[in-house]
Amino acid sequence: MKDVVIANKYVLLEKIGVGKFGIVYKGIHKKTQQNVAIKMEKKDQEIATIKHETIILNHLYRKGCRDVPFVLWYGVYFDYTCLVMTYFEKTLCECKDKLVNEKEKINKIMYRIIEIIENVHEHYVIHRDIKIENFMILENEIFIIDFGLATFYIDENNEHIRYKKREYITGTPKYISINIHNGIEPSRRDDLISIGYLYLYLYYGNLPWNNVPNIHHTLNEESMHILNGKNMYIKDKKELNNIMEYAINSGCDKYIDYCYNLKYTEKPNYTILKNMFL
């Protein structure tokens, strides 16, 4: 991709990320020298997310949400669909080693992350792929990225999406909520539960289910199937009675308990949740 110039103004510099569906590059605006992030995916690939992500980001930005990337350009470059957006300095993941056992610092981060997801939810969007790699830092502020799996939880009839069962996971197995493991359609509560797992990851530097043993499961070997052996192992570790010991020791037990007990369509009390970390 050397010497590539997209939309006659954005120059590709270097690859900075590879996801399930596309590649992210650092780029620069030719005239202003402003750094940008450029996400690209093959036009004809089976699962395409960039157009959908652009719709979600534009919706959130129009509604006043400033915790997400700003879409600078969307379009097609030869065989690729491209999304040019805000470039962030680093991920929260790059800071994690300095945060282990630093409860006061982690609590401030948690407060901000809950505030961000409250803002996203307020505009009828659920993220569905909460993980440490999707929180970015720019000028000491935290932002959320990667809305390729996001969706609206309010339908065209102004009603909450229906509760339904599914066999496959949406999101990243390490961070998906216990409800997703149980084959339930994601809702607001699941973004919040994933944030709870993120807290444990920051506090301990790992998660109880980080080191999954080699498991062979005869029923279904597909990696994103809820009955895949590794996913079943992770699910067991996330059961409330198993995770509470880690939650209590880290001081995140009330948060975990509250989120685990939310009903599918229930609106979370974000103020209560934020105040748990003051």
Distance CA 187, CA 128 (A): 8
pLDDT at 223: 86
Give the tens place of pLDDT for each residue, 3-13.
Answer: 799 999 999 99
pLDDT at 2 over 70: no
| CB burial readout 236-256, b (16+ within 10 A) else e | ebbeeeebeebbeebebbebb
Q: How many CA atoms lie within 13 A of 190 on its CB side?
A: 28
Establish whether 3 is a catalytic residue. no
Please give the domain boundaries of the chain with CATH numbers for all domains: 5-86 (3.30.200.20), 90-275 (1.10.510.10)
pLDDT at 175: 98
Model confidence band, residue 219 (pLDDT cutoffs 50, 70, 90) = low
Distance CA 55, CA 26 (A): 22
pLDDT at 176 over 70: yes
Choose, from 44, 67, 97, 129, the residue flagged as catalytic. Answer: 129
pLDDT at 112: 98
Please tell me the pTM assigned to this model.
0.95
pLDDT at 221: 67
Q: Which helix (H) or strand (E) segment is 136 a member of?
A: strand 135-138
Give the tens place of pLDDT for each residue, 67-82.
Answer: 999 999 999 999 999 9
